Structure 1
Amino acid sequence: MLLELAIADAYGAGFEYADEMIVNNDLSLYVEYPRFRLIPGSYTDDTQMSIAVAEVIVAQAAWTPEVLADSFVRAFKRDRREGYARNFYHFLVEIPDGQEFLTKIRPDSNKSGAAMRAAPIGIYPTPEKVIEAATIQAAITHNTPDGINAAVAAALMSHYFIYQLGAKRKLGEFLKGYVSGEWSKPWEAKVKSKGWMSDRAAITAVMRNDSMSELLQDCIAFTGDVDTVAAIALAAGSCSEEITRVGTCKGKRNSCSELEPPA
């Protein structure tokens, strides 16, 4: 899951809100982002914060805001990455630990940050446990109805496929049973910053594609916040038995392959 998420994030980073780059969406290489310095093939905050969440799960640590916030800070400090929102990047630079993170953060965002890091939570054994854990982690930074619902939906996407709870064409119906949203309605517009928009686009792409390469390309084609769409979709899609891993990109420098990890 984390490998596919990282590849999707790294590939999508070259296209995020850079609609003029869409002509390069052929999976032949990691494209260079035109607006700030980001080495092609480097993953961003979507992956780094997902790793932080996964490390808490693997360590079987207490699932508390304090432990999670400390993991967010620790993951950033050991490997500073571009791709974070500018203010949040500087916030992480300045604070020393999770305690100060919680003291100083304004947890009122309704954007996609809590959803982009939620996929590993799908490993928990029941939808109820997934919802509880996703809600706690989301509330640290996105303690709004939209922010929490987006995180819960993203976590339940991976849970649905990990535990083989149904066909991917029924993913939207499954989500509607647990979290408010029009999850079965196909997304057709540019993806803006709200978390539920990234979720809707990711769900649409997962339901209509049968290979990881097609899925990645389709996520980018929406335009807008596409690295987050791709990270959510490929994290979930990597757990689906209906989505194949066949196919790579050949012969080009910085090539984006379903088997090749990013920097």
Structure 2
Amino acid sequence: MIDLNKSTLDVTEYAYKYNYLLPPPSPRVSTSRRYVEPDWLQSRVSTLTESQSLNRAKGALLGLAIGDAVGTTLEFLPRDTKCIDDMSGGGPFKLKPGEWTDDTSMALCLAETYLKHHRFDLSDYLDRLCQWYMQGRNSVNGVCFDIGHATRNALDGWLSKGLDWIGNLDPNTAGNGSIIRLAPTAIFRRHSLSSTWRDAQSQSRATHRAAEAISGCELLGAILHLALNGADKAEMCQPMVRPLQPRATLINAGEYKQKTRDQIRSSGYVIDTLEAALWAVWNTENFKDAILLAANLADDADSVAAVAGQLAGALYGVSGMPEDWVARVAWSDNIQKLSRQLHDLAPATDTFETSGV
């Protein structure tokens, strides 16, 4: 194992041992005006009934909100300053139990974009994010009270320059702001890994264009694709052939499975957040324990738990969540309604269409 916060050179050299998880360069081949996807982009055939599929779809988005709401209590605190065992509220924003932060607000904006256009539309999504940023759209209390630096920078750029804005390409901007909101993409594109992969990239580029931020979204999207189509935990967390950045490749390889709690970081860095969320899900057997293990890592606790909530929710479904959490999380009925709409509108064919970068 290697500490993923080692230098890029050290991590890249170490990652050579997992080169077998990187596909050979092979652009899509055109055959009679149709494109043949490489093997690694082939979708998982669903083994779920419609009701089981909807259960997992609801779980992915509601799990995001629940993780966000549980984790906010410990947001920004050093690890083990305090421990939680329930949805308690409070935290730096003094929220009521069940209220959530920017993670969920951005996810709801993303869901609305899909429902309006039946595809990802960059301009529409950025407009909705700006309405959240400036006017409190999809905020639990009507105010944008929590926003990451990279997200703020991107939205300010969109407001001032529109599509001419180019930024957040620097590796130091690879925060977790685009993986924390990904569930709507995975649900809407659940029939197609290819479309999930590309939409994961596109929605990340709206605010986070650093290579590792995009790679984190690609990997999380691929994992959610497996879970939403019936994978159990072992299959969901198995290494996959994927063209990923070196640190994301090491997460994909499953090195987190051998790490102890002290070796897991829970910062706002996309790599730390994704590794911590997967570690929490891997080391537990149910939704509640996964969320509490993730949240009690502290630091960027709400985001780590929100990503763990997407994963555990897609794995165990809304039926596997504590009933009192489902009842208490803010906007529960609306979030489940959006999940159902995304699920039911999901294109049945393995196609990809987007508007924007």
Alpha carbons 1:12, 1:220 under 8 Å: kept? yes
Alpha carbons 1:119, 1:154 under 8 Å: kept? no
Alpha carbons 1:116, 1:154 under 8 Å: kept? no
Alpha carbons 2:264, 2:275 under 8 Å: kept? no
**Alpha-carbon spacing, 1:196–1:247, altered in 2? closer, same or farther (3 Å):** same
Distance 2:318 2:114 in 1: 26
**Bigger relative contact order (CA 8 A; separation at least 6):** 2
Distance 2:150 2:212 in 1: 21
Number of equivalent positions: 251
Question: What is aligned with 2:238?
Answer: 173
Question: What is aligned with 1:159?
Answer: 225
**Alpha-carbon spacing, 1:59–1:228, altered in 2? closer, same or farther (3 Å):** same
- Confirm or deny that 1:63 pairs with 2:120: yes
For residue 48 of structure 1, the aligned residue among 89, 105, 124 is 105
- Confirm or deny that 1:117 pairs with 2:181: yes
Question: What is aligned with 1:260?
Answer: 328
Question: What is aligned with 1:254?
Answer: none
Question: What is aligned with 2:351?
Answer: none
Question: What is aligned with 2:82?
Answer: 23
Question: What is aligned with 1:126?
Answer: 192
Residues 77-108 of structure 1, C-alpha deviations (whole Å, 9 max, x = no match): 3332322136855986x78x768565557333
Distance 1:119 1:173 in 2: 20
The structure whose Rg is larger is 2
Alpha carbons 1:38, 1:82 under 8 Å: kept? no
Question: What is aligned with 1:253?
Answer: none
For residue 216 of structure 1, the aligned residue among 280, 291, 294 is 291
Distance 1:167 1:71 in 2: 35
For residue 129 of structure 2, the aligned residue among 56, 61, 72 is 72
Residues 220-263 of structure 1, C-alpha deviations (whole Å, 9 max, x = no match): 122221211111111221121489725456xxxxxxx2442236
The secondary structure found in structure 1 opposite 2:277 is helix
Identity of aligned residues (%): 19
| Unmatched segments (≥5 aa) in structure 2 | 1-59, 332-357
Q: CA deviation at 1:128?
A: 1.3
Partner AA of 2:99 in structure 1: S
| Unmatched segments (≥5 aa) in structure 1 | 250-256
Which stretch shifts more, 15-24 or 3-12?
Answer: 15-24
Residues 181-238 of structure 1, C-alpha deviations (whole Å, 9 max, x = no match): 2121125323122112111111122222221110111101222212111111112211
Alpha carbons 1:16, 1:227 under 8 Å: kept? yes
Question: What is aligned with 1:142?
Answer: 208
The secondary structure found in structure 2 opposite 1:14 is helix
- Confirm or deny that 1:200 pairs with 2:286: no
Distance 2:114 2:240 in 1: 23
Structure 1 length-normalised TM: 0.81
Alpha carbons 2:100, 2:330 under 8 Å: kept? yes
Distance 1:122 1:87 in 2: 23
Alpha carbons 1:66, 1:98 under 8 Å: kept? no
Q: CA deviation at 1:173?
A: 2.5
**Alpha-carbon spacing, 1:88–1:101, altered in 2? closer, same or farther (3 Å):** farther
**Alpha-carbon spacing, 1:224–1:238, altered in 2? closer, same or farther (3 Å):** same
Question: What is aligned with 2:68?
Answer: 9
For residue 82 of structure 1, the aligned residue among 145, 157, 179 is 145
Which stretch shifts more, 205-214 or 174-183?
Answer: 174-183
The secondary structure found in structure 2 opposite 1:190 is coil
1:85-96 equivalences in 2 (<5 Å): 85=148, 88=151
**Alpha-carbon spacing, 1:88–1:238, altered in 2? closer, same or farther (3 Å):** closer
Question: What is aligned with 2:314?
Answer: 239
The secondary structure found in structure 2 opposite 1:3 is helix
**Alpha-carbon spacing, 1:162–1:103, altered in 2? closer, same or farther (3 Å):** same
Partner AA of 1:16 in structure 2: E
Which stretch shifts more, 239-248 or 168-177?
Answer: 239-248
